[in-house]
Amino acid sequence: MALEFTDANFKAEVLESDKLSVVDFWAEWCGPCRAIGPVIEELSKEYDGSVKVGKVNVDHNPEISMNYGITSIPAILFLKNGQVVDKLVGAQPKANFVKKIEAHK
């Protein structure tokens, strides 16, 4: 299951991790966000142990969203060693996520 990243745990879970983190910025009211939800869950299972895959609810965690300038959702950031190494915006096919993960893990 995808991790839940929050304002409280983001630094420890993502920024201080030596693994690639895939962070899905989403909201319950966002249709495209719900559409890619199952893809995010699949990726969390397929890359369990090698890549951290999680979600940030922008309504509940405004600090992280503001820090990364998230203005459109879904927005998926790929972070490694505390730095953004790639991003996707909008609903995307699973293959696009896999390509980014394989390039950076």
Catalytic choice (33, 40, 56, 75): 33
| 95 given a catalytic annotation | no
CA distances to 16, 42, 76 from 64, in Å: 15, 24, 13
Is it true that the peptide bond before 62 is cis, omega within 30 degrees of 0? Answer: no
Q: How far apart are CA 84 and CA 89, in angstroms?
A: 14
Residue with tokens 């009211």: 29
Tokens found for residue 101 = 């993960």
Kindly name the residue from 2, 20, 30, 73 that is annotated as catalytic: 30
Is residue 33 part of the annotated active site? The answer reads yes
* Both structure tokens of 34: 């719900």
The catalytic site residues sit at: 30, 33
